[in-house]
Structure 1
Amino acid sequence: MVKVTVWNEFLHEKDSEEVRAVYPDGIHNAIAKGIGTDGFEVRTATMDQPEHGLTEEVLDGTDVLVWWGHRGHDQVDDAIVDRVHARVLGGMGLVVLHSGHFSKIFKKLMGTGCDLKWREADEKERIWVVNPAHPIAAGIPEQFVLEREEMYGEHFDIPAPDELVLVSWFEGGEVFRSGCTFFRGQGKVFYFRPGHETYPTYYNENVLQVIRNGARWAAPSNAAAPIRGNHKPLEEIKAK
């Protein structure tokens, strides 16, 4: 059983009728309901909760944290960012969605500015699978279309991904590395691009399948923690 916590800043839905019409119960609940299936235990957390809903107890019970943020990046407490960062390095998986590319946690893990081109023009996005053997691509067609989405375009200021799984093309001509994986310490990070708050992207079954696959892939491997520092020899060292 993979224990997933879906985190959302939960700001747009409170003061935008346009966003509330699409996600009346919040983006976090739409994602949680959409990915809920056998093999997952899903709960949600939001920024307005104590410790942003990411207490030690919650993270102790989280295998994979799914992160959606946009307007409130600077409102996330640095102590909570440090807490999540330490958990990722220790093996917790992290799935960062859409505008979470500018979140404090993603930027801290990437070590770069994570900036990009963007445009809101109700344009078509075609998402291509470029690594069909990767588990994140399981059950996904060779390509699928989102009829209306926000454009993100290259250059995306991130380190070269350890694995590139998905690439997007937009009606206006741009392309974007939209499904990227990274290994950090014992943890795994998956960045997935789609999900602007005014579009019903998180009801799309292909999008939800990618998030499910990403959560399964990012789940802890439970490998033994490496031991570092001065170390006694495992074998006898014979004097030369």
Structure 2
Amino acid sequence: MTKITIWNEFRHEKTDAAVQAMYPEGIHGQLAKFLTAAGFDATTATLDEPEHGLTDEVLANTDVLLWWGHMAHEEVSDEVVEKVHQRVLAGMGLIVLHSGHFSKIFKKLMGTSCDLKWREDESHARVWNVNPSHPITAGIGEFIDLEKEEMYGEHFDIPAPDELIFISWFPNGEVFRSGCTFARGNGKIFYFQPGHETYNSYYNEKVQQVIINAVNWAKPTDNLRPYYGHFQPLEK
């Protein structure tokens, strides 16, 4: 069974009544609920736990790490970021959600500012599937309509994605590369934009299906890992 750790800052839910009302068990709780129902072994970790809940033991037993953060990116310790970074390079999958684009770990893996345009204007969004044969889009159809979602707009300062999966359109004219994959070392990374803390995106069945598909895509394979370091010649 694929083992998932869902990391959430878990700050807004403690201080903001609108977020509490939308996600009474925390964003991590809602993610864990539908991922557990999908058959994964899902556990959670939050910022204010010792080592942010990401101990060596937890990371060693994580096949795919989901990351949601927003208001306290700088409070994540560099030591924990480095441990997560090394685990991704070693083959752990990473799914970065919504404002996790500005997390230390995503910026470290991308090597860019990961900055973008944004606006909260209570408008809807249409997430277009631009890679319909990709396993992450299985069962999704041509697009996902979201009743409300925070506007994220280009330019999104990331490296060119290995694969572009979704492009979102917003009614005031902006577009955004809202689903992107990357390979770093032996690990696979998926960035997915929906998930503003006061909107119901994580209750949307198609958004849930994308995340479920992404876990199956990002989980480690049984492929033989490369050998690194000093190497004896194969030919005599």
Task: State the match for 2:203 in structure 1.
Answer: 203
Gaps of at least 5 residues in structure 1 are none
CA RMSD of aligned residues (A): 0.9
- Higher fraction of strand: 1
Is the counterpart of residue 94 in structure 1 residue 94 in structure 2?
Answer: yes
Q: Distance in 2 between matches of 1:32 and 1:211?
A: 11
Distance 1:222 1:55 in 2: 24
Match of 1:68 in 2: 68
Whole-angstrom CA distance in 2 between matches of 1:106 and 1:129: 23
Contact 1:91 1:187 survives alignment (8 Å)? yes
Letter in 2 for 1:222: D
* Match in the other structure for 2:126: 126
Quick one: distance in 2 between partners of 1:89 and 1:227? 13
Cα contact 2:132–2:141 (8 A) shared by 1? no
For the 8 Å contact 1:68–1:99, the answer to whether it is kept is yes
**Whole-angstrom CA distance in 2 between matches of 1:38 and 1:207:** 13
**Could you tell me which residue of structure 1 aligns to residue 229 of structure 2?**
229
- 8 Å CA contact retained: 2:96, 2:189: yes
Once residues 100 and 61 of structure 2 are traced to their aligned partners in structure 1, the CA distance between those partners, rounded to angstroms, is 22
Q: Retained in 1: the 8 A contact 2:92–2:219?
A: yes
| 1:73/1:46 CA distance change after superposition, 3 Å | same
Q: Which residue is 1:160 aligned to?
A: 160
Residue 224 (structure 1) shift:
2.0
Spell out, residue by residue over 1:63-95, the C-alpha distance to the aligned partner (whole angstroms, 9 max, x if none). Answer: 000000000100001100000000000000000
Aligned to 2:37: 37
CA displacement at 1:222 relative to structure 2: 2.9
Match of 2:23 in 1: 23
Q: Of the two, which has the highest radius of gyration?
A: 1
Q: CA deviation at 1:38?
A: 4.5
Q: 2:126 & 2:222 partners in 1: Cα distance?
A: 36
- For 1:121, what is the secondary structure of its paired residue? coil
Distance 2:77 2:235 in 1: 47
Letter in 2 for 1:118: W
User: Which residue is 1:143 aligned to?
Assistant: 143
1:83 aligns with 2:95: no
Tell me how far 1:39 sits from its aligned partner: 3.9
2:72, 2:13 → 1: CA distance? 13
Q: Does the CA contact (< 8 Å) of 1:7 and 1:65 recur in 2?
A: yes
In structure 1, the residue matched to 2:182 is 182
Separation in 2, partners of 1:16, 1:145: 26
Runs of 4+ in 1 over 6 A off after TM superposition: none
Do 1:34 and 1:202's aligned partners in 2 also have CA atoms closer than 8 Å?
no
Is this contact kept in 2: 1:67–1:100, CA < 8 A?
yes
Measured after TM superposition, the shift of residue 229 of structure 1 is: 3.3
Quick one: distance in 2 between partners of 1:56 and 1:233? 35
Number of residue equivalences = 236
Q: Normalization by structure 1: what TM-score?
A: 0.96
User: In 2, Cα distance between the equivalents of 1:71 and 1:214?
Assistant: 25
Alpha-carbon separation, structure 2, partners of 1:32 and 1:61: 16
Return the alpha-carbon distance in structure 1 between the equivalents of residues 144 and 228 of structure 2.
45
